Amino acid sequence: MDIPPESQILRIFIGEAARFGRQPLHEAIVLKAREMHLAGATVTRCVMGFGKSSRLHTAKILRLSDDLPLVIEIVDAAEKITSFLPVLDGMMPAGLATVENVRAICYRGVAPAE
């Protein structure tokens, strides 16, 4: 699978405590993206942040949060990102999703072992 040079990045901001049914929301999103054959997804755990409620989530020892911010990034062709958005909307009870145009420079997998 290749992605075109002129692609899009879908960036999803959620809390790690968010769930979709009995599954962590970030896992459900990544698995759904994989099921829909998007090019790939990465989940990054953040050390500090706040959202619409202005509640601070931090990894500081004295205020250890059990709901740190997560960012999920998915890069693919615009039409594939667009087709994923209604699915994502049905999965996210809270959070923020953004889409930006990006230029994909390279997209390579690991070479198979001989």
Tens-level pLDDT at each residue, the chain (114 residues): 689 999 999 999 999 999 999 999 999 999 999 999 999 999 999 877 777 776 766 666 555 556 788 999 999 999 999 999 999 999 999 999 999 999 999 888 877 776
CB-count burial class (<10 Å; 0-12, 13-18, 19+) for 46: middle
Q: How far is residue 73's CA from residue 14's CA, in Å, rounded to a whole number? A: 12
All structural domains of the chain, each given as residue ranges with its CATH number in brackets, are 6-103 (3.30.70.120)
Query: Can you give the pLDDT at residue 114?
Result: 65
Amino acid at 4: P
